[in-house]
Chains A and B, each alone.
Chain A
Amino acid sequence: MDKAKITIDGQQIEVDDGSYVLEAAKSLGIEIPTLCYYPYMVPYAACRICCVEAHGAGGWSKIVTACNYPVWDGLEIFTDTPRVINARRTNLEMLMANCAPVPVLQRLAEQLGITEPRWKTGSNYTCILCGLCVRICDEVVGAHALAFINRGAKRDVSTPFQLDSESCILCGACAKHCPTGYIKMEEIENRYIVHQEMNLSPNAAITLPFRQAVPNVPQIVRENCIHFKTGGCMVCAKVCPKDCIEYGDRPNFEEVEVGAVVIATGFDSFDPTPMKQYGYGKYPNVISSEEFEVMNNAAGPTGGKIVMENGAEPRAIAILHCIGSRDHDYHKYCSRVCCMYSLKFSHLVKEKTSAEVYQLYIDMRSFGKGYEEFYSRILDEGVNVIRGKAAEVVPSGYRQHEEGHLIVRCEDTLIGKYREIPVDMVILSTALEARRDAKEFGRKFNISTGADGWFIEAHPKLAPVSTTTEGIFLAGACQGAKDIPDAVAQGGAAAAQAMKLMAQGEVMMDAAYAVIDEAFCSGCKMCNDMCPYTAISFDDAKKVSVVNSALCKGCGTCVAACPAGAIMARHFTDEQIYAQIEGILA
């Protein structure tokens, strides 16, 4: 592309021929105010605030709008002549004369030195008709659900015929780009702390799959992405400096042949929303332990600062143990790790803030190596440890207007008294629970889950990492709640087991397995469904069932079930059993 040399306020710059003055000024660091510009759309030039003075050869000069004035070689631009400033000011005054004093106008007015518009026509309209919403919907989203209606002073933004638009895909782009808040979405998501880090917006289309995902890169959620609804948008591709956006990319499946599998799917964090008494989801300063970890992270949204939703430092924090654990209504088991991480939290809070910390526990389970010592240290640090489970969290009654002020109600069982503790923030030490898809997942590997959803090992004492299926091993919290040292140890053991198989290169099999006598098999398929190891399949050509001897464990279920008596377990034939019985009786 041809280049054009232009001068802006005395600074020379070379830019692409046909690009616009505003962009060139931006790259020089010259700020030109505007109300209707959005870099990924065709410039509209409606607000006329971005006007600048263009000078050309021969001494002519005129006012042009920077956002859509194409540059040409030799162009000279002035952005701060009295004529320009006056034009900007008067235009803004005209706009303010007919519009409500919305913040975006007031900010600009301050910048341009206007205190009060000289005229006021009495209308108090919030919309400044910048057209961002209409154009976003049209050019970027491609839904064409919004348009201008009427002419002149009666102009307005609306859906066709001012009815609910069927074309609207509820993407929210219009509301997001509305500078005055004239367009609102009905549903407002206000839990910023929870969601900001996970997503870019409540239902953003570009997210990280989960924290610390491998690889830790964002992905497009097709259901939320405008591009996959209308074919438009593609703003992310324009923004990305490295051209990383690949709309054609899809999740794909790769098949790998392996001899051993270690299952380490981990756990889910208990969602405390159903426990209404703690007000999670209702009060912004009631957060889960996971959210606290996020906040405490130096790379997190607050940069590691411990703050309330309004950004202030809390004066008192309560940490509530056993949320969802040791609870008849949720999980009866103890999650084993909460006591210790809760103690860690109080240590961190004490270290980073001057807040008062309250621990509300049922039993303090600090059983590991050095854990009890840590508990003692916490006590020395002045953490208030109260024995008694918190009953509920309520907003402070007499100062309800004060945001974030909460009261924790509990019984202190050591002194036998009911207590109300005023705090600014509540951290819920939520239980560890099995992954919600554990059962389904287990079925794929022929391993079963217990009542709590954890995977069941082959033997609790003798084979804690193996499963009933040969070559499948368990590691970490998928088998039961455990802390990091335990999980690491189990992982090591599972890896060793797997390596043992690999080192041998072959698998020793039990000689006892079932075989089907094809002559007798009637092809009723009864055994096919019955086999717990899916070892029996049906041979369509021969119309008989066939046992895969590598999968068969010789359990004998099919042998007993076969109505024709066609299945026989090797080394457990009727003759052998009779012979054994005879041997015993002899």
Chain B
Amino acid sequence: MSTNKLNSPAELVALKERLEKNRNANKTVVTVCAGTGCMACGCDAVLKTFREECANDRLENEVEIKATGCHGFCERGPLVVVHPLGVFYQRVKPADAKLIWEQTVKGGHLVNKLLYRDPQSNQIVKNEKDIPFYKKQMRIIFGKNGFMDPTAINDYILLGGYQALAMALTKMTPEQIIDEVKKSGLRGRGGGGFPTGKKWATCRAVKVEPKYTICNADEGDPGAFMDRSLLEGNPHQVIEGMLIGAYAIGSHEGFVYVRNEYPLAVKNLTIAIKAARDCGFLGENILGTGFSFDIEISRGGGAFVCGESTALMASLEGKVGEPRAKYIHTVESGLWDKPSNLNNVETWANVPPIIERGAEWFASIGTDNSKGTKVFALTGKVNNTGLVEVPMGITLREILYDIGGGVPRGKKFKAVQTGGPSGGTLIVETAEPKIHASMVAYGDLRDEDEAISLLDLPVDFDELTRAGSMMGSGGMIVMDEDSCMVDIARYFIHFLTEESCGKCVPCREGLVVMLNILQKISEGKGTIEDIEYLEELSQVIIDTSLCQLGGSAPNPVRSTIRYFRQEFLAHVIDKRCPAGVCKDLVSHAIDNTCNGCHACLKSCPTNAIVGEPKRLHYIIQDKCIQCGACYQICRYNSIKRIKHGEGDKLQERARELWQPPLKKVTAEVA
């Protein structure tokens, strides 16, 4: 691991050549994904088994066991790939590891049961790149993740790492770098989508020293984890990006603000920074070019608002993480009132490929105003959850169906929530064939087709904003027909009332008012006026909030009202929750298709379900707390969510069949 300090770009090239020479291309390498997702599924034990087997067979020199960064396909973890065969195994248990060792590593055979089986075509897929999940992806940033040990700098150098830095430092002036980044069309991946090159140029133009380079790794959106995976899996690419950026703007000090809830990311980053320092990529006189730069890690306490740039800087200064007005930009006066260039983890990771392969190449990917790729954290009601890196402009349909593999259990897509709590919910398909007349009346939708066509919405910064959502940091939560939009809106507003810093009135007080109204609606006490209030409040909060947290906080409400007004109207007029989520508006009942499998009976926490095996079951309405456990477990779709209070209407026959155990009681009494 210990590498001598490199004093010139030539030494870096020499080191790479030496490493390449020493590498045996035919050597078997078993890579085990050690991202947090796979870690949770038990990849540690898998790794241990491989290492033990390897030691037992004394094959340490022939076979290399490697714990790599996240491969992205978290749904199927733990993932194991055996090189150079390129065989991809999924959901590997420690016992399976033994099998792989025996069969594949030593024997060269495939283990069929561990291979990926495409649910649509039912075909077995051998290689990682042939899996539909990966096929449509374009892995510029995550590409190296699967091939390298994040704690080994040599792996990164071997994969061409730090070449971009060497090129930038020796062959390019800062102005040329900024020009290149400008030409590439790279936009901030943190959510705002501000052109990165323009930001750097402004920061460079400010004649104040020192300047700070900051990496925002305070990823707080529920369901988003791409920054974490990147820092865990390939911290060097982020460091390299920061180095190039710092050189371009003339900064010598950098900070990475990372959540303390990301222990693995902090650990890997710390190791990476130390290794980079040892190799001479960080510190004084980098690669003998006279340029100096160093990075310090600052760990955040987990406040969502600290992802906002000014709040993050306040937190870095040791103050309470509160945003301030950005009428004077942070590139002019940010951290300690000095020019500060802050970019997101993913943005920094995009820089080395741009320098290495040129702006033209990067600009060729994506749409007119959004270039390159974007990593999305695909979560929710979708078959293949995980991290997906796709070129900008890909349609939602491709992401959801081709990569995501559709909705589990044959349900229908309903909506996609992008951009985290500040983003919006987009309609993709509608469970109800007819769109409520109000949507047309309010001008949100003109006809039925348009509602469906959002599935073909090209995903980029501008299109998402136009559709009433935003790119955000790249969270993508998929919802099926069982999700209630009022409930979703309520959930996000609740999250934001908790996470608002509380400094300014609209965000602190306005969101509480909105939450109260949403609560009222979900309890069936809302009026049509309340929906209007929500819209009015949203507008004022967006207009007058101090920071972008408040400025985008009403987005979940605005977008759900825009696309799902009929659902809101159902709540306030019919006092009915179409998705059957709002507990005060729904009753659970069993219809006549029940075959008495008993599954629901066992799952009921309040013993509200009664019935003989293989006979029609019955839900005692008074006991039912509408938790929905039975609904989730029923495989025959026999449990229905219907309007509140109408449960017994549906269960009439079951009720007749079911006799309360009167006899037993009377016997005891007697």
Taking the complex as formed, is B170 at the interface, i.e. its CB lies under 8 A from any CB of chain A?
Answer: no
Q: Which of B48-56, B201-209, B410-418, B537-545 contacts A (4 or more CB under 8 A)?
A: B537-545
Binary B-proximity of A453-479 (CB < 8 A = 1, otherwise 0): 000000000000000000000000000
B508 neighbours in A (Cβ, 8 Å): 129, 152-153, 155
Q: Which of B303, B512, B536 is in CB contact (< 8 Å) with A153? A: B512
Nearest CB in chain A to that of B303: its residue = A151
Taking the complex as formed, is A45 at the interface, i.e. its CB lies under 8 A from any CB of chain B?
Answer: yes
- In the bound complex, how far is the Cα of B374 from the Cα of A349, in angstroms? 87
Find out whether the CB atom of A87 lies under 8 angstroms from the CB atom of B320. Answer: no
B513 neighbours in A (Cβ, 8 Å): 94, 97-98, 119, 121
- In the bound complex, how far is the Cα of B544 from the Cα of A63, in angstroms? 6
Binary B-proximity of A42-82 (CB < 8 A = 1, otherwise 0): 00111111010000000000111100111000000000000
Taking the complex as formed, is A537 at the interface, i.e. its CB lies under 8 A from any CB of chain B?
Answer: no
Find out whether the CB atom of B510 lies under 8 angstroms from the CB atom of A94. Answer: yes
Find out whether the CB atom of B543 lies under 8 angstroms from the CB atom of A98. Answer: no
Taking the complex as formed, is B503 at the interface, i.e. its CB lies under 8 A from any CB of chain A?
Answer: yes
Find out whether the CB atom of B497 lies under 8 angstroms from the CB atom of A91. Answer: no
- In the bound complex, how far is the Cα of B537 from the Cα of A97, in angstroms? 13
Find out whether the CB atom of B327 lies under 8 angstroms from the CB atom of A70. Answer: yes
Taking the complex as formed, is B450 at the interface, i.e. its CB lies under 8 A from any CB of chain A?
Answer: no
Interfacial residues of chain A within 134-157, with CB under 8 A of chain B in the complex:
147-148, 150-155
Nearest CB in chain A to that of B543: its residue = A63
Taking the complex as formed, is B172 at the interface, i.e. its CB lies under 8 A from any CB of chain A?
Answer: no
- In the bound complex, how far is the Cα of B644 from the Cα of A382, in angstroms? 87
Find out whether the CB atom of A97 lies under 8 angstroms from the CB atom of B546. Answer: no
Find out whether the CB atom of B320 lies under 8 angstroms from the CB atom of A147. Answer: yes
A70 neighbours in B (Cβ, 8 Å): 327-328
Interfacial residues of chain A within 107-141, with CB under 8 A of chain B in the complex:
118-119, 121, 129, 131
Find out whether the CB atom of B320 lies under 8 angstroms from the CB atom of A148. Answer: yes
- In the bound complex, how far is the Cα of B303 from the Cα of A155, in angstroms? 14
Q: A87-B540, A87-B543, A119-B533 are in contact. Are A151 and B509 (CB under 8 A)?
A: no
Q: Which of A48, A62, A147, A151 is in CB contact (< 8 Å) with B500? A: A151
Nearest CB in chain B to that of A117: its residue = B513
Find out whether the CB atom of B505 lies under 8 angstroms from the CB atom of A94. Answer: yes
Interfacial residues of chain B within 524-551, with CB under 8 A of chain A in the complex:
533, 536-537, 540, 543-546
- In the bound complex, how far is the Cα of B303 from the Cα of A150, in angstroms? 11
Taking the complex as formed, is B378 at the interface, i.e. its CB lies under 8 A from any CB of chain A?
Answer: no
Q: Which of B327, B496, B510 is in CB contact (< 8 Å) with A68? A: B327
Q: Which of A44, A51, A131 is in CB contact (< 8 Å) with B544? A: A51
Find out whether the CB atom of A47 lies under 8 angstroms from the CB atom of B505. Answer: yes
Q: Which of B328, B512, B540 is in CB contact (< 8 Å) with A121? A: B512
Taking the complex as formed, is A308 at the interface, i.e. its CB lies under 8 A from any CB of chain B?
Answer: no
- In the bound complex, how far is the Cα of B536 from the Cα of A377, in angstroms? 76
Least CB distance from A2 to B in Å reads 15
Binary B-proximity of A86-100 (CB < 8 A = 1, otherwise 0): 110011001101110
A49 neighbours in B (Cβ, 8 Å): 505
A65 neighbours in B (Cβ, 8 Å): 325, 544, 546
Give the one of B505, B511, B536, B543 with max A CB within 10 A: B505
Taking the complex as formed, is B506 at the interface, i.e. its CB lies under 8 A from any CB of chain A?
Answer: yes
Taking the complex as formed, is B17 at the interface, i.e. its CB lies under 8 A from any CB of chain A?
Answer: no
A44 neighbours in B (Cβ, 8 Å): 503
Interface residues on A, range: 35 or more
Nearest CB in chain A to that of B510: its residue = A94
A326 neighbours in B (Cβ, 8 Å): none
Taking the complex as formed, is A83 at the interface, i.e. its CB lies under 8 A from any CB of chain B?
Answer: yes
- In the bound complex, how far is the Cα of B303 from the Cα of A148, in angstroms? 15
Find out whether the CB atom of B325 lies under 8 angstroms from the CB atom of A94. Answer: no
Q: Which of B320, B503, B512 is in CB contact (< 8 Å) with A46? A: B503
- In the bound complex, how far is the Cα of B505 from the Cα of A95, in angstroms? 7
A51 neighbours in B (Cβ, 8 Å): 543-544
Least CB distance from A51 to B in Å reads 5
Least CB distance from A102 to B in Å reads 14
Interfacial residues of chain B within 482-508, with CB under 8 A of chain A in the complex:
496-506, 508
Least CB distance from B105 to A in Å reads 52
Taking the complex as formed, is B74 at the interface, i.e. its CB lies under 8 A from any CB of chain A?
Answer: no
Give the one of A68, A90, A154 with max B CB within 10 A: A90
Taking the complex as formed, is B173 at the interface, i.e. its CB lies under 8 A from any CB of chain A?
Answer: no
Give the one of B509, B536, B537 with max A CB within 10 A: B509
Nearest CB in chain A to that of B328: its residue = A70
Least CB distance from B520 to A in Å reads 10
Find out whether the CB atom of B506 lies under 8 angstroms from the CB atom of A151. Answer: no
Nearest CB in chain B to that of A44: its residue = B503
- In the bound complex, how far is the Cα of B320 from the Cα of A528, in angstroms? 69
- In the bound complex, how far is the Cα of B508 from the Cα of A148, in angstroms? 13
- In the bound complex, how far is the Cα of B613 from the Cα of A332, in angstroms? 111
Nearest CB in chain B to that of A96: its residue = B509
Find out whether the CB atom of A151 lies under 8 angstroms from the CB atom of B498. Answer: yes
B505 neighbours in A (Cβ, 8 Å): 46-49, 91, 94-95
- In the bound complex, how far is the Cα of B511 from the Cα of A368, in angstroms? 79
Nearest CB in chain A to that of B545: its residue = A48
Interfacial residues of chain A within 147-196, with CB under 8 A of chain B in the complex:
147-148, 150-155
B325 neighbours in A (Cβ, 8 Å): 45, 65, 68-69
Least CB distance from A43 to B in Å reads 8
- In the bound complex, how far is the Cα of B499 from the Cα of A154, in angstroms? 10
B504 neighbours in A (Cβ, 8 Å): 45-48
Find out whether the CB atom of A90 lies under 8 angstroms from the CB atom of B499. Answer: no
Least CB distance from A472 to B in Å reads 64
Find out whether the CB atom of A94 lies under 8 angstroms from the CB atom of B506. Answer: yes
- In the bound complex, how far is the Cα of B327 from the Cα of A45, in angstroms? 12
B533 neighbours in A (Cβ, 8 Å): 118-119
Least CB distance from B492 to A in Å reads 14
Find out whether the CB atom of B544 lies under 8 angstroms from the CB atom of A153. Answer: no
B303 neighbours in A (Cβ, 8 Å): 151
Nearest CB in chain A to that of B509: its residue = A94
Give the one of A83, A98, A119 with max B CB within 10 A: A119
Find out whether the CB atom of A45 lies under 8 angstroms from the CB atom of B502. Answer: no
B305 neighbours in A (Cβ, 8 Å): 151
Least CB distance from A152 to B in Å reads 4
Nearest CB in chain A to that of B507: its residue = A152
- In the bound complex, how far is the Cα of B505 from the Cα of A296, in angstroms? 48
Taking the complex as formed, is B517 at the interface, i.e. its CB lies under 8 A from any CB of chain A?
Answer: yes
Taking the complex as formed, is B516 at the interface, i.e. its CB lies under 8 A from any CB of chain A?
Answer: yes
A97 neighbours in B (Cβ, 8 Å): 509, 512-513
- In the bound complex, how far is the Cα of B501 from the Cα of A150, in angstroms? 8
Q: A69-B327, A119-B517 are in contact. Are A151 and B501 (CB under 8 A)?
A: yes
Least CB distance from A78 to B in Å reads 14
Binary A-proximity of B304-342 (CB < 8 A = 1, otherwise 0): 010000000000000010001101100000000000000
Q: Which of B328, B497, B512, B536 is in CB contact (< 8 Å) with A90? A: B536
- In the bound complex, how far is the Cα of B322 from the Cα of A155, in angstroms? 12
Nearest CB in chain A to that of B550: its residue = A48
Find out whether the CB atom of B540 lies under 8 angstroms from the CB atom of A153. Answer: no
Nearest CB in chain A to that of B512: its residue = A153
- In the bound complex, how far is the Cα of B320 from the Cα of A451, in angstroms? 65
B324 neighbours in A (Cβ, 8 Å): 45
Find out whether the CB atom of B498 lies under 8 angstroms from the CB atom of A152. Answer: yes
- In the bound complex, how far is the Cα of B497 from the Cα of A98, in angstroms? 13
- In the bound complex, how far is the Cα of B155 from the Cα of A189, in angstroms? 75
- In the bound complex, how far is the Cα of B493 from the Cα of A69, in angstroms? 29
- In the bound complex, how far is the Cα of B324 from the Cα of A70, in angstroms? 14
In addition to A94-B537, A151-B303, 11 A-B residue pairs with Cβ atoms within 8 Å of each other are A63-B543, A63-B544, A68-B325, A70-B327, A91-B506, A91-B544, A119-B517, A151-B502, A152-B501, A153-B497, A153-B509
A-B contact pairs, 24 of them (CB 8 A): A45-B504, A48-B545, A49-B505, A51-B544, A64-B327, A68-B325, A83-B543, A87-B540, A87-B543, A90-B510, A91-B544, A94-B505, A94-B513, A95-B509, A98-B512, A148-B502, A150-B502, A151-B499, A151-B501, A152-B501, A152-B508, A153-B498, A153-B508, A153-B511
Residues of chain A having any CB pair with chain B under 8 Å: 44-49, 51, 62-65, 68-70, 83, 86-87, 90-91, 94-95, 97-99, 118-119, 121, 129, 131, 147-148, 150-155
Q: Which 3 A-B pairs have the closest CB atoms?
A: A155-B502, A94-B509, A152-B500
